[in-house]
Chains A and B, each alone.
Chain A
Amino acid sequence: NAGVTQTPKFQVLKTGQSMTLQCAQDMNHEYMSWYRQDPGMGLRLIHYSVGAGITDQGEVPNGYNVSRSTTEDFPLRLLSAAPSQTSVYFCASSYTGEGSGNTIYFGEGSWLTVV
């Protein structure tokens, strides 16, 4: 099982550039989300989706866009990168109902540096 796959794992961007972090899951989960991890702050929710075509903002959405055209994919777009967006980004997925165990599955993280 591939689980939750994030690409790229490492990226260096220049201020003002745009890029997309890819996230794919092969578990047919309806829920997907993006978090960022900064020193001393734990993980914070950027955007989330509860199904194809449905997205919403989390705690720190500014500077990021998302879309969910398929159940499997949930890309995160940085519109105009800023040094404040230097962080480690995690994609996560989950489902509800019998057997879910309330488990949220995380990708391995994407390290982004904006210079």
Chain B
Amino acid sequence: AQTVTQSQPEMSVQEAETVTLSCTYDTSESDYYLFWYKQPPSRQMILVIRQEAYKQQNATENRFSVNFQKAAKSFSLKISDSQLGDAAMYFCAYRAPSEYGNKLVFGAGTILRVKS
């Protein structure tokens, strides 16, 4: 079974600085998808960024980028120029296309605190 591990329960960053959240996963699949979701206090699940495993280029969305290391099974999220609105719980998630039903496997989450 696939597993997703987020080893940082909490992280802090100063406003305008850069922070990296770690995620590792375990799978025997060669084709899969990885996601980072943001969950603010409202509990809404907001998709931040996605990465297809067959793409070598790291995904980027504005201030958010990933460092995808397929061989190492690592998928870290970098947030540049951190803003107060970035404070939230962040979940790393995995999906295997071969699995019936588009099921997601989530990590335990990392709480990000942003200091002004």
Contacts and interface: CB of A to CB of B under 8 A. Distances in A.
Interface of A: 31, 33, 35, 37, 40-45, 48-50, 56, 58, 88, 90, 92, 94, 96, 101-104, 106, 108-109, 111
Contacts of B43: 37, 88, 108-109, 111
Nearest to B104: A104
- 6 closest Cβ contacts across the A-B interface? A42-B106, A106-B45, A48-B101, A43-B106, A109-B43, A31-B102
A69 B47 CA distance: 29
A108 to B, nearest CB: 6
Nearest to A43: B106
Nearest to B42: A108
Contact of A103 (B47, B100, B108): B47
A23 B105 CA distance: 21
Chain B interface secondary structure, helix, strand, loop or mixed? loop
A88 B41 CA distance: 13
Interface of B: 4, 9, 33, 35, 42-45, 47, 50, 52, 91, 95, 100-109
Nearest to B4: A42
A58 B44 contact: no
A45 B52 contact: no
Nearest to A58: B103
Contacts of B50: 101-103
Contacts of A48: 101, 103
Contacts of A94: 102
A40 B101 CA distance: 25
A45 B100 CA distance: 13
Contact of A49 (B47, B52, B91, B101): B101
